[in-house]
Amino acid sequence: MSIFEIKDVRKSFKNGEIEEEILKGVNLPLQKGEVTALVGASGSGKSTLLTIAAGLQPASSGQLLFDGKNLTDLNQEQIRQIRAKDFGFVFQSSHLVPFLTVEEQLLLMLEVAETTLSKPEQKKEIDKILKIVDLEQRKKAYPSSLSGGEKQRVAIARAIIHQPKILFADEPTANLDSKRSKEVMELIRELTNTLGITTLVVTHDEEMLPYVDNIIKMKDGIVI
């Protein structure tokens, strides 16, 4: 069942006097509980498509259908609320707050998502998620003491602590070695299965493709 649908999405940028079309009418359904990978050469439009789908930048035209709504019809505050409550994000860099512990990073995310959980329930949920990502023993650690792989696992935990419906991951393994990259993709695969999350991931690493359900190839702003 399709939970999110990208319909005829186009995106253009002004380059001086020239209007450059980056996305040229992309159609893409995301199926509930599946991992879909966007692959293609640099400049193919895959990261632009992901950021538009995630509500991080507007499309020039087209529709983004989610939860009975067309996101392109919503105002910025409505989109912000959906991003906070229903979407999770993982990027190339972990973007952890340097002065917060692992536990505090997750508490902050729950606050942003306007959780209705009580403080004891929040602590319990954090312990559960940290166990899943194998970081229980690092709960009180600061980012400066974490390895690259640990930081990215914290970023994934932070992205799903509020139980989003969609996880957007833009090159989540780009800064990791081969072993850590596989661990991160295995984790994303496991979380998608166990929590029923729908995941859209941008990757250039073909070794990651065995962990996904659908592979969407892009070239010059279109799906091929």
Q: State residue 2's pLDDT score.
A: 83
d(Cα 23, Cα 13) in Å, to the nearest integer? 10
d(Cα 41, Cα 8) in Å, to the nearest integer? 21
Q: State residue 195's pLDDT score.
A: 87
**Which residues span the domain enclosing 215?**
2-223
Q: State residue 37's pLDDT score.
A: 94
Given the structure tokens 């319909």, which residue do they identify?
Answer: 7
Six token digits for residue 135: 């970081």
Overall pTM > 0.85 = yes
**pLDDT tens per residue across span 13-40:** 887 778 889 999 999 999 999 999 999 9
The structural domain count of the chain equals 1
Q: Confirm if 45 and 60 have CB atoms less than 8 A apart.
A: no
**pLDDT tens per residue across span 151-205:** 999 999 999 999 999 999 999 888 888 888 888 889 889 888 888 899 999 988 8
Q: State residue 180's pLDDT score.
A: 85
CATH number of domain containing 73:
3.40.50.300
Q: State residue 1's pLDDT score.
A: 65
Please, what is the average pLDDT of the chain? 91
pLDDT at 50 over 70: yes
**pLDDT tens per residue across span 68-89:** 899 999 999 999 999 999 999 9
Strand bridging mode 35-39 / 222-223: unpaired
Q: State residue 14's pLDDT score.
A: 81
**pLDDT tens per residue across span 90-100:** 988 889 999 99
Lowest-confidence segment of 1-5, 13-17, 102-106 by average pLDDT: 13-17
Q: State residue 46's pLDDT score.
A: 92
Q: State residue 42's pLDDT score.
A: 86
